[in-house]
Chain A
Amino acid sequence: MSEHLISQQTILLDFAADSKTDALYKICAHLFLMRKTQNPAGLYDDIIKREAIVSTFAGQHTAIPHVISSHVSEPVLCFVRLSNQDFVWNDNDEDVRIIFFLSVPEQKDLKQLRESQSHVFSSIAQLMQDTHIMDLWLTTNDEQVILDSLKTAFQSNLNKKII
């Protein structure tokens, strides 16, 4: 599953957006181009609804919008780095540079779904505590480096669960 979760095509560096909604809209559009969703408007509605419940601003210049949506057929994660320095998530000085966008298809057993997906943000949280990784994410121009850092963490967390 994690093979398809994130790829170079869903790592977007130098992403320009004026606002949270603009960013989310453009990410949904990109996922449509990448054939990850057939209904970008539906996906956008879902993510905005989720965001309305409570903001996904995660501190350290990061936001983690995520949603369970019927408009994707398999889990997909985007890494988005914003190019405009003045981007804020919620108008409250929530300065955001990096967006992790996760969308997971609906599934009957919600609990199992959560358990199978928790490792994604769990890994991201671990990585965010490492200042070297944060620097790397903020500066590198090589998508593969970001991809490797994430995949290594996902893999190690998944293995831990099996043991």
Chain B
Amino acid sequence: MSGNNLKVGVQSVGRFLSGMVMPNIGAFIAWGLITALFIPTGWLPNESLAKLVGPMILYLLPLLIGYTGGKMVGGDRGAVAGAVTTMGVVVGTDIPMFLGAMIVGPLGGLAIARFDQMVHGKIKPGFEMLVNNFSLGIIAMIMALIAYEIIGPVVSVVTAALGSGVGWIVDQSLLPLVSIIVEPAKILFLNNAINHGVFTPLGAEQSAEFGASIFYLIETNPGPGLGILLAYMIAGKGTAQKSAYGASIIHFFGGIHEIYFPYILMKPRLIIAVIAGGMAGVAFNMITGNALVGPPSPGSVFALALMSTKGMGIVLTLGSIAVAAATSFTIAALLIRSDASETDDLEAAKMAVDANKAESKGQAVPATAFANQTVRSIVVACDAGMGSSAMGATVLRGKIKAAGLDIQVTNAAINDLVDADIVITQQELSARAKNKLPNARHLSIGNFMDAGFYDELVASLT
């Protein structure tokens, strides 16, 4: 029971975290491409264009994550508060504050959402705009200060603790076990902190003495991540599967590991696969004595190959990537297969986005959008609840009945909405309906006699 609760808890946290990252994957790709191309070890080194790399990873990406996190909790106002709050953790550190952004972005959104709830209906008419803007400004400012003073330092301490944990394991000569810390830390976007904060200095020390170091090969090995993406390609389904192809190219050849993190956040159990993959890779390098002469950056297969020692080095490096990828792939594929019945979060997230888009355009929902949800009641709502909605409910009820579905269809006035799984309103009234019943799924319809809309809805419910 409690184990199950824990599982559900971990899953929903993971889903929440990946929900913050997934909408911004495009920005990660933009940053990844710029990085892979223009940094000194990139494909087209360019000092001037490489200036984009730092500010993008330090500011843009965490702010986008904080913005999205705030939006998930507090809507558009929450998004702005989330971004401002994120600024508090971003400033004053030199590591990318993804973890911090994922914590404080939603907190900023929560603060403004709570405030809005508190003052709802208490603002004098005419002062709404003033109160809205200033409350947002003041609350966001306070949250940014809190983030700067408290949360930023806490995240820095956590990062440092992870670093010393890695250091301790290295001291105990239990190198493969280091993956138990490194791989989960990577998923929380501490990859650069760990690599450049811990392994690069350790590696530099060692390679100064021996000419090469295994430390350069621990965090940078693209094998475990590649295994995950390959597993999604073969055993996954839906959008996660389709997008894994592109992601694997950016990850493996471009060396932008960030791209695979959301795929693990989506199914946190996959962390086992990357840990095992990482351990296998480290063990392989330990046994064969393989090492790299310098830090490969970014962690792409090309950079690793270039940094390999002369002679057999390149073969061993590729071997360690292959071993890590194969291990991670095997475990991940089994885990994804066994999860096959569960909803694919990326899919669900994307569908939710599509449904929202369709809503705003007043179009029908895409088929299968509801396939995995239990829908027991649909309310067709309009202003008065006796005209348009009565017509709509009648048409939909007929179609639901014809499809043999056990779903109650009623009509109501928006002000009388009390409970429903799905609420259908005309576009102009959707915002009001959402306010009244925020937990229901809301669909917008152009006119209530639009049979095509109902046909698609019924198809998506069967």
Question: Do the beta carbons of B426 and A121 come within 8 Å of each other?
Answer: no
Question: Do the beta carbons of B416 and A111 come within 8 Å of each other?
Answer: yes
Question: In the complex, A60 Cα to B395 Cα: how many Å?
Answer: 13
Question: In the complex, A124 Cα to B412 Cα: how many Å?
Answer: 17
For B391, the chain A residues whose CB sits under 8 A away are 58, 64, 121-122, 124-125, 128
Within B321-358, the residues touching A (CB, 8 Å) are none
Question: Do the beta carbons of B395 and A117 come within 8 Å of each other?
Answer: no
For B413, the chain A residues whose CB sits under 8 A away are 110-111, 114
Known: A66-B384, A118-B411, A129-B398. A53 touches B390 (CB 8 A): no
Question: In the complex, A60 Cα to B450 Cα: how many Å?
Answer: 9
Within A65-81, the residues touching B (CB, 8 Å) are 66-68
Known: A68-B384, A110-B413, A121-B386. A58 touches B394 (CB 8 A): no
Question: In the complex, A15 Cα to B351 Cα: how many Å?
Answer: 47
Known: A57-B447, A58-B448, A59-B450. A121 touches B383 (CB 8 A): no
Q: Which of B386, B428, B451 has the most CB of A within 10 A?
A: B386
The residue that B390 contacts in the complex, of A57, A104, A110, A120, with Cβ under 8 A, is: A120
Question: Is A139 engaged at the interface, CB distance under 8 Å to the other chain?
Answer: no
Within B16-40, the residues touching A (CB, 8 Å) are none
Question: In the complex, A67 Cα to B384 Cα: how many Å?
Answer: 8
Q: Which residue of A lies closest to B426 (CB)?
A: A54
The residue that A104 contacts in the complex, of B386, B428, B448, B449, with Cβ under 8 A, is: B386
Main secondary structure of the interface of B (DSSP, over half): mixed
Q: Which of B383, B391, B393, B448 has the most CB of A within 10 A?
A: B391
For B447, the chain A residues whose CB sits under 8 A away are 55, 57-59
Question: In the complex, A55 Cα to B451 Cα: how many Å?
Answer: 18
Question: Do the beta carbons of B388 and A121 come within 8 Å of each other?
Answer: yes
Question: Is A56 engaged at the interface, CB distance under 8 Å to the other chain?
Answer: yes
Question: Do the beta carbons of A64 and B387 come within 8 Å of each other?
Answer: yes
Question: Is B212 engaged at the interface, CB distance under 8 Å to the other chain?
Answer: no
Question: Do the beta carbons of B449 and A62 come within 8 Å of each other?
Answer: yes
Question: Is B429 engaged at the interface, CB distance under 8 Å to the other chain?
Answer: yes
Question: Is A26 engaged at the interface, CB distance under 8 Å to the other chain?
Answer: no
Question: Do the beta carbons of B411 and A128 come within 8 Å of each other?
Answer: no
Question: In the complex, A66 Cα to B389 Cα: how many Å?
Answer: 12
The residue that A53 contacts in the complex, of B383, B393, B398, with Cβ under 8 A, is: B383
A93: min CB distance to chain B, Å: 12
A29: min CB distance to chain B, Å: 22
Question: Is A113 engaged at the interface, CB distance under 8 Å to the other chain?
Answer: yes
Question: Is A102 engaged at the interface, CB distance under 8 Å to the other chain?
Answer: yes
Question: Is B294 engaged at the interface, CB distance under 8 Å to the other chain?
Answer: no
B247: min CB distance to chain A, Å: 43
Q: Which residue of A lies closest to B384 (CB)?
A: A68
Question: Is A85 engaged at the interface, CB distance under 8 Å to the other chain?
Answer: no
Within B81-97, the residues touching A (CB, 8 Å) are none
Question: Do the beta carbons of A59 and B449 come within 8 Å of each other?
Answer: yes
Question: In the complex, A53 Cα to B448 Cα: how many Å?
Answer: 15
A76: min CB distance to chain B, Å: 14
Question: In the complex, A104 Cα to B413 Cα: how many Å?
Answer: 15
The residue that B387 contacts in the complex, of A59, A121, A128, with Cβ under 8 A, is: A121
The residue that B428 contacts in the complex, of A54, A64, A111, with Cβ under 8 A, is: A54
A112: min CB distance to chain B, Å: 11
Question: In the complex, A126 Cα to B392 Cα: how many Å?
Answer: 10
- Residue total for A at the interface (Cβ-Cβ under 8 A): 32
For B366, the chain A residues whose CB sits under 8 A away are none
A90: min CB distance to chain B, Å: 11
Q: Which residue of B lies closest to A102 (CB)?
A: B387
Question: Do the beta carbons of B450 and A125 come within 8 Å of each other?
Answer: no
B136: min CB distance to chain A, Å: 29
Question: In the complex, A128 Cα to B388 Cα: how many Å?
Answer: 13
For B450, the chain A residues whose CB sits under 8 A away are 59
B283: min CB distance to chain A, Å: 66
Known: A54-B429, A64-B388, A118-B411. A125 touches B449 (CB 8 A): yes
Within B446-462, the residues touching A (CB, 8 Å) are 446-451
Question: In the complex, A122 Cα to B449 Cα: how many Å?
Answer: 11
Question: Do the beta carbons of B428 and A120 come within 8 Å of each other?
Answer: no
Question: Do the beta carbons of B386 and A114 come within 8 Å of each other?
Answer: yes
Question: Is A50 engaged at the interface, CB distance under 8 Å to the other chain?
Answer: yes
Question: Do the beta carbons of B449 and A60 come within 8 Å of each other?
Answer: yes
A159: min CB distance to chain B, Å: 16
Q: Which of B385, B411, B449 has the most CB of A within 10 A?
A: B449
Question: Is B280 engaged at the interface, CB distance under 8 Å to the other chain?
Answer: no
The residue that A125 contacts in the complex, of B386, B395, B412, B426, with Cβ under 8 A, is: B395
Question: In the complex, A53 Cα to B426 Cα: how many Å?
Answer: 10
Question: In the complex, A120 Cα to B391 Cα: how many Å?
Answer: 9
For A66, the chain B residues whose CB sits under 8 A away are 384, 386-388
Question: Is B382 engaged at the interface, CB distance under 8 Å to the other chain?
Answer: yes
**1/0 contact string of B411-443 vs chain A (CB within 8 Å):** 111001000000000101100000000000000
Q: Which residue of B lies closest to A121 (CB)?
A: B390
Question: In the complex, A157 Cα to B402 Cα: how many Å?
Answer: 18
Q: Which of B383, B411, B447, B448 has the most CB of A within 10 A?
A: B447
For A117, the chain B residues whose CB sits under 8 A away are 386, 390
A152: min CB distance to chain B, Å: 15
What 10 A-B pairs have minimum CB-CB distances, sorted nearest first? A125-B391, A66-B387, A59-B449, A125-B394, A121-B390, A118-B390, A117-B386, A122-B394, A114-B385, A54-B428
Instruction: Sample 6 A-B pairs with CB under 8 A, ordered by A number.
Output: A59-B449, A66-B386, A66-B388, A102-B387, A128-B449, A129-B398
List the interface of chain B (C-beta within 8 A of A).
Answer: 382-388, 390-395, 398, 411-413, 416, 426, 428-429, 446-451
Contacts A54-B428, A122-B390 known; list 10 others, CB within 8 Å. A55-B447, A58-B391, A59-B446, A68-B384, A121-B388, A125-B392, A125-B394, A125-B395, A125-B449, A126-B398
